[in-house]
């Protein structure tokens, strides 16, 4: 993933809709950090953002997609295949690559796909034209949203209102990096590596624990209560709506710096190390909290390494773990309906005990 400067910035602005800048978003630091870490290491497994209506969830996610550097794709390929990495190629492109054919290349923005609540499984996964397949002997495949989201972000607003079966399909694809469609004995498989971002309002229903556990991270966002900060956010939004080009230009340098920081973190990530003692303590915290399975351990290790890479370091620190672990474990705790203690606080308390730290007070 590289930043390119082939098209002048003004031409790009004319070609696509102006999006509110990621670096201009005030507050919601937990949500912004969780999204950045998943972009640096998509194997973290996505983010579930739960919170009040009107807290900027959709705005932040769209701003992140706009911030990300362009990716190189094979021209006219419906799966956004990478021209050099066979693991990110469709079967057709990979066959050409293995035969050392010259692949036409192009640059495009990272895809950001919105999944509507009323989407069917065919719309999400894609469909096979059985009649054409039988009569002409070709695999006639109409790509779905998972194909379009490959190497990008897939955003599901109000994911807690989505059919559980559909959520399961999304999570399976996000975890495996592949989507398989089977109809009448015909099977088609294509890459589907994307960062899955779900958002929802707890008042409209919770996601089943079995599904919630499969999201890598969970973040809770709250409405800003400070009146001065609320006024600042409202004024900022009004300024953007009145003159989006001028407003965006004010943050261009910050956007470029953060974009470069993300690219550097992705490059640095394979070199980041985590001491054995820290890994043992992470697992000890998971054990103390009675977290089922090993997803909590794995995601915490990945997230801590991504945070170290984001900050330009090759060694994970205790502070890295302390910062990301509540996001990685809070949704994996067994819920006691009689308990009033916040799950995030329980995680922070366990971290403090195992690592010998003082518990931070709000």
Q: What is the DSSP string of 287-302?
A: HHTT--SSHHHHHHHH
CB atoms within 10 A of CB 120: 12
- Annotated catalytic residue within 62, 193, 214, 295: 295
Residue (of 271, 270, 300, 264) closest to 285 by Cα position: 300
Question: Pairing state of beta strands 194-200 and 152-157?
Answer: parallel
Look up residue 10 and give its two tokens. Answer: 């003004």
Give the E-state strand segments of 112-151 in sequence order. Answer: 112-114, 126-128, 141-143
Q: What is the DSSP string of 214-264?
A: TSSEEEEE-----HHHHHHHHHHHHHHHH-HHHHHHHTHHHHHHHHHHHHH
Under 8 Å between Cβ of 303 and 311: no
Query: Is 237 annotated in the active site?
Result: no
Look up residue 38 and give its two tokens. Answer: 């998943």
Look up residue 157 and give its two tokens. Answer: 């607003």
Task: Report CA 131 to chain centroid distance, whole Å.
Answer: 37
Residues serving a catalytic function are 295
């Amino acid at each position: 993933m590289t930043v390119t400067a082939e098209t002048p910035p003004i031409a790009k602005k004319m070609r696509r809709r102006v999006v509110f800048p990621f670096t201009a978003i005030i507050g919601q630091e937990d949500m912004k950090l969780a999204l950045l870490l998943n972009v640096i290491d998509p194997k973290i497994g996505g983010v579930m953002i739960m919170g009040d209506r009107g807290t900027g969830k959709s705005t932040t996610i769209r701003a992140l997609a706009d911030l990300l550097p362009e990716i190189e794709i094979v021209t006219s390929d419906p799966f956004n295949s990478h021209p050099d990495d066979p693991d990110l190629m469709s079967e057709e492109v990979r066959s050409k690559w293995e035969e050392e054919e010259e692949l036409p290349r192009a640059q495009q923005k990272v895809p950001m796909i919105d999944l509507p609540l009323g989407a069917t499984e065919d719309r999400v996964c894609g469909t096979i034209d059985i009649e054409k397949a039988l009569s002409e002997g070709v695999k006639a495949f109409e790509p779905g949203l998972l194909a379009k989201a490959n190497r990008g972000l897939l955003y599901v607003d109000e994911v807690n209102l989505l059919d559980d079966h559909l959520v399961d399909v999304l999570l399976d694809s996000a975890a495996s990096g592949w989507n398989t469609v089977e109809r009448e004995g015909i099977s088609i498989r294509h890459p589907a590596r994307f960062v899955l971002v779900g958002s929802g309002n707890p008042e409209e229903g919770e996601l089943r624990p079995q599904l919630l556990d499969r999201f890598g991270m969970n973040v809770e966002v709250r409405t800003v209560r400070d009146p001065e900060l609320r006024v600042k956010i409202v004024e900022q939004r009004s300024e953007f709506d009145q003159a989006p080009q001028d407003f965006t230009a004010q943050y261009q340098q910050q956007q470029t710096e953060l974009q470069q920081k993300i690219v550097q973190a992705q490059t640095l990530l394979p070199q980041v190390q985590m001491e054995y003692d820290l890994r043992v303590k992470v697992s000890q915290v998971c054990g103390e909290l009675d977290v089922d399975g090993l997803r909590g351990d794995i995601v915490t290790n990945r997230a801590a390494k991504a945070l170290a890479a984001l900050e330009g370091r090759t060694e994970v620190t205790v502070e890295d773990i302390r910062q990301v672990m509540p996001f990685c474990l809070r949704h994996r705790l067994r819920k006691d309906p009689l308990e009033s203690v916040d799950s995030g606080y329980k995680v922070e308390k366990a971290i403090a005990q195992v690592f010998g730290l003082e518990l931070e007070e709000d």
